[in-house]
């Protein structure tokens, strides 16, 4: 099963069983990834030209097997959504392979993303990037670990000099032109879940997207940022709520806790209005 990466905290988490299941599922996903070579895998395309690979489907199956229990809901990019999850208090929201485009291209910016939602609130999550050997796991009551060691978000107090992780696709489409000349570094990167996890672990200061994302893109990463003590919110600064009938969200903001107000000011004029 591999090395257990989440070290049990001094105070046991009320989500201890959930964290264990996340560990086991990520370990199983890494075993699946070992059968594939990034950049050399056959690719199909869904409606809308989103790529999907055999790895996506295989990881979805092992995650469902290791995570889901009776009475819990399930929402995955690679599973049919039968909406029975709407009646469930506890719901798994997962993306078996977030950053499939990067995986297909052989760019090491993809991950398995597992989010656990209770009453609509992301409360636990885990991601692993097998290409970089990074695993980040946590829950709202105990914080997070990065490769088994406690981790915390950036405590930087100003945006000047900060590292902002931006969507590689959004930059290519020109959607970040208005942010390119600030006193901060903008780094393009795939996988929104991976970007959020890196912010949670203090490997970057900020990430945000003004482009709609699905819940499976952000639930795990948002849970990790919140669990670590960082700031995460919808574009209108409302708390992120998941397990909606329509899983498409307008966008997301995330940063270290001391950058909240400056991040909100930075994007204020670029947030869509009703």
Tell me: the pLDDT tens digits for 135-175? 999 999 999 999 999 999 999 999 999 999 999 999 999 99
Q: How far apart are CA 163 and CA 186, in angstroms?
A: 6
The pLDDT of residue 239: 93
Per-residue pLDDT at 56: 80
What pTM does this model have?
0.91
- Alpha carbon distance 265, 261 (integer Å): 6
Contacts of 271 (CB under 8 A, 6+ apart): 210, 235, 236, 251
Question: Distance between CA 166 and CA 208 in Å, rounded?
Answer: 7
pLDDT of residue 272: 60
Query: For residue 23, what are its two tokens?
Result: 């560990």
pLDDT value at residue 100:
84
Cα dihedral 69→74→79→80 (10° resolution): 120
Question: What residues of the chain score a pLDDT lower than 70?
Answer: 1-11, 37-53, 271-274
Q: What is the pLDDT of residue 50?
A: 54
Residues 6+ apart with CB under 8 A from 154: 162, 199, 202, 204, 205, 230, 255, 256, 258, 259
What is the rounded distance in angstroms from the CA atom of residue 103 to the CA atom of residue 190?
9
Q: For residue 264, what are its two tokens?
A: 């909100």
273, burial (CB in 10 Å: exposed 0-12, middle 13-18, buried 19+): exposed
Question: Contact 134/236 with Cβ under 8 angstroms?
Answer: no
Residue 200's SS3 state is helix
Residues 6+ apart with CB under 8 A from 143: 9, 150, 151, 152, 227, 228, 229
CA-to-CA distance for 159 and 256, rounded, in angstroms? 10
Q: Residue 41 has what pLDDT?
A: 54
């Amino acid at each position: 099963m591999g090395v257990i990466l989440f070290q049990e905290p001094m105070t046991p988490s009320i989500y201890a069983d959930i964290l264990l299941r996340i560990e086991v599922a990520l370990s199983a996903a890494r075993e699946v990834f070992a059968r594939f070579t990034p950049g050399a895998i056959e690719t199909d395309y869904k409606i809308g030209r989103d790529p999907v690979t055999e790895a996506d489907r295989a990881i979805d199956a092992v995650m469902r097997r290791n995570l889901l229990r009776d009475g819990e809901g399930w929402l995955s990019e690679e599973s049919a959504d039968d909406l029975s999850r709407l009646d469930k208090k506890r719901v798994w929201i997962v993306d078996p392979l977030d950053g499939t485009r990067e995986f297909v291209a052989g760019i090491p910016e993809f991950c398995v993303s597992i989010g656990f939602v209770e009453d609509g609130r992301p409360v636990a999550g885990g991601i692993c990037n097998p290409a970089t050997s990074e695993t980040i796991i946590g829950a709202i009551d105990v914080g997070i670990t990065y490769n088994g060691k406690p981790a915390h978000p950036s405590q930087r107090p100003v945006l000047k000099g900060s590292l902002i992780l931006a969507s590689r696709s959004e930059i290519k489409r020109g959607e970040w032109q208005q942010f390119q000349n600030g006193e901060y570094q903008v780094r393009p990167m795939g996988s929104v879940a991976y970007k959020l996890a890196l912010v949670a672990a203090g490997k970057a200061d900020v990430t945000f997207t003004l482009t709609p994302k699905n819940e499976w893109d952000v639930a795990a990463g948002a849970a990790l940022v919140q669990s670590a003590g960082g700031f995460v919110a919808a574009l209108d600064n409302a708390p992120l709520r998941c397990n909606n009938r329509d899983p498409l969200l307008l966008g997301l903001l995330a940063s270290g806790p001391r950058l909240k107000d400056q991040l909100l000011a930075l994007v204020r004029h670029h947030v869509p209005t009703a």
